[in-house]
């Protein structure tokens, strides 16, 4: 039967033969995927066990490397791009920690130019805090895809992990970028026009501002931040002329102090359609024209709309390192150096290193190397502090032997 052929009884093969069996099982795995709720990583691990490799030392090292990538990984900001080189015979994984806000969309991409066969497992984990390990998985890439997009449901710290399958590594790139989920609601303007943020006191402190105020000339078009259906067009004492829009993300967008409304109830709009014009109606009659923009969620009430429209003005720093060191070993060439928790000069210290201490170079971004220390932890070392060596110093010879030879 076809089902029986998917679950052969395997003898104790060597690594090469067992991996060949994994390839034969791949077709069966694809057939199961339609009804299998497990992640691609979980299905891959199950394949290892079915092929008799679950207790193999290499498989255990692979699992340990994946777990290590979730334990206090380096911290980055958006946008982040890193050139990476992982050894094929010594399992490793890359982890990135980043702070995300409600209303943002993060996308994690891996690039392997010219390689369409290697499986790369990408997943996203919620961390308990800025320095804590991963708590639970919240998203993962689909089978065969080398990217994963994630929209957080709550503010917090998240860990993005990338790990190639067993005996596959080499040179590739990872990118992490964060963008707002909504378009800026005043046409032709950006967040510099925001003059009042969420939580600012109102009415002598009797209430707090539940939105953001965006100042622009009277009559400037106000646009839909995302597509949806107009729920209400009306007028009230505080907001003056207002529009409520239920969007495709489950938000209700609120537009207030309008000079005029350009939609009707029940109208379906797409992102960028004109909702109304900037004015100062309602309790804004004594202020310059501006849009009060709010976001409401069913069962929650008002939420901070700033991160729904905030777009970082940062750019990816130019790569300024000797990339021939990637995938190899380096040693500290200065009297002392600091491995940091992020690729920034003022980032927290991970470990202080002395001259001739050796590290493994796994990646590079800007003027920094991602390095792996002897305990498996990863941080960033200023590229000018390192020089190439053919293999690390063994403990007790020179330096402290931060990384010992395989």
Residue 288 CA, distance from chain mean position:
39
Q: What is the pLDDT of residue 107?
A: 98
On the question of pLDDT at 403 being above 60, the answer is no
Q: Which residues pair with 150 in a beta bridge?
A: 106
Distance between CA atoms of residues 189 and 251, nearest Å:
22
Percent of the chain whose predicted confidence (pLDDT) is above 90 = 64
Sign of CA dihedral 64, 70, 73, 78: positive
Q: Which residues pair with 174 in a beta bridge?
A: 82, 110
Closest CA to 261 of 280, 277, 283: 277
Query: Residue 36, Cβ neighbours under 10 Å: how many?
Result: 15
Token pair listed for 197: 């943020």
Can you tell me the mean pLDDT for 362-381? 94
3-state secondary structure of 267: coil
Closest CA to 365 of 343, 397, 347, 348: 343
Closest CA to 253 of 273, 279, 237: 273
Distance between CA atoms of residues 39 and 163, nearest Å:
14
On the question of pLDDT at 17 being above 50, the answer is no
CB 353 within 8 A of CB 336: yes
Q: Which residues pair with 240 in a beta bridge?
A: 236
> pLDDT per residue over 157-213, tens digit each?
999 999 999 888 888 999 999 999 999 999 999 999 998 877 666 655 566 778 899
Higher pLDDT, 112 or 254: 254
Q: Which of 38-42, 150-154, 194-198, 396-400 has the highest mean pLDDT?
A: 150-154
> pLDDT per residue over 105-155, tens digit each?
999 999 988 777 888 999 999 997 777 777 889 999 998 899 999 999 999
Q: Which residues pair with 404 in a beta bridge?
A: none
Q: Which residue has the tokens 């998203």?
A: 139
Distance between CA atoms of residues 328 and 391, nearest Å:
8
Distance between CA atoms of residues 323 and 377, nearest Å:
21
């Amino acid at each position: 039967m076809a089902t029986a052929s998917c679950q052969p009884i395997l003898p104790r093969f060597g690594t090469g033969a067992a991996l060949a069996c994994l390839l034969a099982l791949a077709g069966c795995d694809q057939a199961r995927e339609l009804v299998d709720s497990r992640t691609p990583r979980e299905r891959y691990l199950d394949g290892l066990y079915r092929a008799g490799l679950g207790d193999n030392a290499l498989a255990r090292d692979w699992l340990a490397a994946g777990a290590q990538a979730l334990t206090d990984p380096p911290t980055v900001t958006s946008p982040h791009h890193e050139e990476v080189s992982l050894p094929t015979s010594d399992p490793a994984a890359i982890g990135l920690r980043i702070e995300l806000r409600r209303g943002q969309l993060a996308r994690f991409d891996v690039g392997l130019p010219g390689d369409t066969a290697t499986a790369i497992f990408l997943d996203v984990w919620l961390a308990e805090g800025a320095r804590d390990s991963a708590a639970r998985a919240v998203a993962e890439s689909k089978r065969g895809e080398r990217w994963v997009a994630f929209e957080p449901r709550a503010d917090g710290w998240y860990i993005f992990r990338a790990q190639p399958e067993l005996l596959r590594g080499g040179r590739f790139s990872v990118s992490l970028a964060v963008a707002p989920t909504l378009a800026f609601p005043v046409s032709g303007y950006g967040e510099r026009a925001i003059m009042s943020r969420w939580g600012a006191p109102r009415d002598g402190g009797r209430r707090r501002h539940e939105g953001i105020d965006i100042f622009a000339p009277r009559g400037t078009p106000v646009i839909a931040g995302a597509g949806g259906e107009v729920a209400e067009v009306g007028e009230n004492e505080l907001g003056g002329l207002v529009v409520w829009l239920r969007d495709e993300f489950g938000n209700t967008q609120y537009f207030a102090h309008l000079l005029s409304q350009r939609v009707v109830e029940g109208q379906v709009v797409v992102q960028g359609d004109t909702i109304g014009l900037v004015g100062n109606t309602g309790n804004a009659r004594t202020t310059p024209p501006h849009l009060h923009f709010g976001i409401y969620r069913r069962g929650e009430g008002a939420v901070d709309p700033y991160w729904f429209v905030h777009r970082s003005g940062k750019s990816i720093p130019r790569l300024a390192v000797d990339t021939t060191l990637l995938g190899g070993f380096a040693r500290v060439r200065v009297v002392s150096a600091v491995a940091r928790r992020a690729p920034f000069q003022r980032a927290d210290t991970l470990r202080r290193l002395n001259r001739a201490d050796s590290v493994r170079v796994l990646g590079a971004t800007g003027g920094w190397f991602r390095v792996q220390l002897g305990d498996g932890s990863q941080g960033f070392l200023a590229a000018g502090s390192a020089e190439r060596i053919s293999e690390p110093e063994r403990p007790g010879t020179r330096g402290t032997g931060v990384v010992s030879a395989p």
